[in-house]
Every structure is written in structure tokens, then in C-alpha cells.
Structure 1
């Protein structure tokens, strides 16, 4: 089952900032948009795995 998430991204003073709206605490900053998106995906995967593990214990 595929789930879609929404990322809000902004560029400020040469730095890219972003967060995932549906999952509190998933945010990142990076010097490029591409790095930001990669970091957000990684942080989201980690948060979802932690939530899954918590649900199983």
C-alpha cells in the first residue's frame, strides 16, 4: 500500500528548509533542493520505522 506525504519546502538566504506536514518532527535543511528532498525522505522513513516499532512493542 503506497502512502503519499506532503513536503513543504522553502528557500531562504541560500538554504533550503522543509518539513513533512503529516508527520510531526520530520524536517530538514540543506544547501540544495535535491539534498533537502533526500534528507526529508530519509527522516520520514526513520520516523515511520520508529512508529512501526513502537506499535509492535
Structure 2
């Protein structure tokens, strides 16, 4: 029975690490810098040239 814990604990740790790394990648891919946001808003006509 003790042997199962030595197998189960590393598997759980590996799964937790993979889940954590996957979330970080998703968050970094979606970020836009402020200049990109301004460019998009200006292109859509949401802000004027003076506001840009």
C-alpha cells in the first residue's frame, strides 16, 4: 500500500505543474500593449484623432 503513494504523489505533482504552466501561457498570449489598444480603437472610430 505504501508503494502506491510513491507513485501517486509524483503523478499529481506533474499534473498540477502542467495545469499551472498552461494557464500562464494563455494569459500572456491575450495581452495587448496600450499602443495596440489605441490603434484598434482609432481604427474602429471609437476615438478621434485628437484623443489618439
**Which protein has greater RCO, CA pairs closer than 8 Å, 6+ apart?**
1
**Greater share of helix:** 2
Scaled by the length of structure 2, the TM-score of the pair is 0.48
